[in-house]
Structure 1
Amino acid sequence: MTDFQKILQESMIWTEGLTAIISLIYYNRGNKDGYWKYFSIYLILMFLSEAMGKWGHLLVEYDKPKFFNYFVIPIEFLFFYWLYAAKALGKPKLFYALSALYLLSFLPSEIFFTTKKIIFSFNYTFGCLILMVLVIMEYYRQINSSDILNFSSNKMFYINLGVTLFYIGTLPFWAFFSLITKYRELYNVYYNYFLISGIIMYLLFSISFIWGKRSS
């Protein structure tokens, strides 16, 4: 890891922490339903998980790949499926269906693909593809509603943009991780983008709480 990447990695973790704090302050702003408190809880959990991933080995011995593959990443995908499908799109049945499909994708990952890796490529790729469908649906909903006229105060606009840059933008990196690692320059470009887009995503999440309001 280069010095620049170390700086980015540190910045990403503390940006997560800052976003979690901001979400605690602003989560109920303009939201009568109050479900944004769960986004705040999610952000706090993600910050603690990333902190565990970076410094947890100093406190306790644990399997880092399993921690992320079986706990952190599934929570990320399931939470966004809920936020997009059940809340933003108002389709709770779609949330249950997509969540079931994602969880079932663990079966081929366990049977056909090696588990001795940082990220389960098949499982992560499938989860990202599902999320990409929801992102496109949300963009379509925003474009075809009055939200597009007030995008600067639309929480989901910032969240959708952040998810697009990070999860969808880094999909090729994790899908072809084992191949990309063989080409150091390409790996460094993608890894730098992964870290930078992560920082931008969490900044956009912060903006969604400060400027954003509940969409109608």
Structure 2
Amino acid sequence: MVAIIMILSIGVIISETIAAIAGISQHRKLSDSLWSYLTYYLIWISTLEWIGWLSRLWNKMDFNSRLYNYVSIPSEYLFFLWLLSQLIRSRKQKVLVVPEYSILIYAIAWFFDHFYFSKQTYTFQSFSVTVGSILMVILIIVYLYQIVASDYILSFAKTIEFWVILGIISYYLLSLPYYGTYNTLTQNYKHIFEIYQVIVYCLSICMYLLFTVGFLWQKKS
């Protein structure tokens, strides 16, 4: 199982890199759109992942932990919450929520993780990750409601955001129980944790491959 997890973890990094390359290949077409920022994010996050992989290889586990808890994971949630907020705002329809507040809520949850929960027996910042994932799911539901209520739904499947939204909601919704129970599983149910970890890595690979399809579909369109 350990070997499978290691292979899949490398697969996640490779899929991120492939998505970044696909985004770079479409830079001219997307340079004036919101999706150019997705390319920049993919370059950033794949670089961090390669650094993290090398730090594990060199057994720099303390550095690796700090990299993920203080840079990689916060970057991930802050970017996608911002991206989803911008998509909602771009529809120019009234909504009952203020999407930008999701970023503030996540930041508060992260500070709770850092200054309170980190002093407990936890090894992973489950609280902020769970809050961030729930916020993303809520924002996606709001955005999809906007799409369904407009004529844009007729061409939605042909756009890059369809593939990006599909990738985000597939990964963050299905991995929510894993991150929410991460510390409990690692401490008490290691076998179940390893099985779920394999599933989550597969979901992550699928998400980035869907991003890749979105970039290439944009080219085809």
Same fold (TM over 0.5): yes
2:8 is matched with 8
In the alignment, does 2:90 pair up with 1:90? yes
Matched, 1:52 2:56: no
Q: Counterpart of 1:114?
A: 118
- 1:60 Cα deviation from its structure 2 partner: 9.6
Unaligned runs of 5+ in 1: none
Q: Is the 8 A contact 1:81 1:131 kept in 2?
A: yes
1:108-155 CA distances to partner (integer Å, 9 max, x unpaired)? 223431257553011111111111111111221222223322233121
- Does the 8 A contact of 1:86 with 1:94 survive in 2? no
Task: Look up the match of 1:206.
Answer: 212
Alignment map for 1:28-177 (pairs within 5 Å): 28-29=28-29, 31=30, 33-56=32-55, 61=60, 63-90=63-90, 94-114=98-118, 118-177=123-182
Partner residue in 2 for 1:21: 21
With normalisation by structure 2, the TM-score equals: 0.84
Letter in 2 for 1:101: I
Deviation at 1:184, TM superposition (A): 3.3
Name 1:188's counterpart in structure 2: 194
Q: Which moved more, 1:109-118 or 1:149-158?
A: 109-118
SS in structure 1 at match of 2:69: helix
- The Cα shift of 1:63 comes to 2.1
Q: d(CA) in 1 for partners of 2:113 and 2:15?
A: 32
Asked if 2 retains the 8 angstrom alpha-carbon contact of 1:128 and 1:167, the reply is yes
Distance 1:105 1:193 in 2: 26
Once residues 33 and 12 of structure 1 are traced to their aligned partners in structure 2, the CA distance between those partners, rounded to angstroms, is 28
1:1-38 Cα offsets, whole Å, 9 max, x none, are: 53222222221111111111110011443x47333221
Please provide the CA RMSD for this pair.
2.5
Aligned residues: 212
The CA distance in 2 between the partners of 1:65 and 1:117, in whole Å, is: 13
Q: Percent identity?
A: 27
> Are the counterparts in 1 of residues 88 and 142 from structure 2 also a CA contact under 8 Å?
no
**Gaps (5+ residues) in structure 2?**
none
Question: Take 1:27 and 1:36, find their aligned partners in 2: how far apart are those partners?
Answer: 9
Comparing 73-82 with 145-154, greater Cα deviation is found at: 145-154
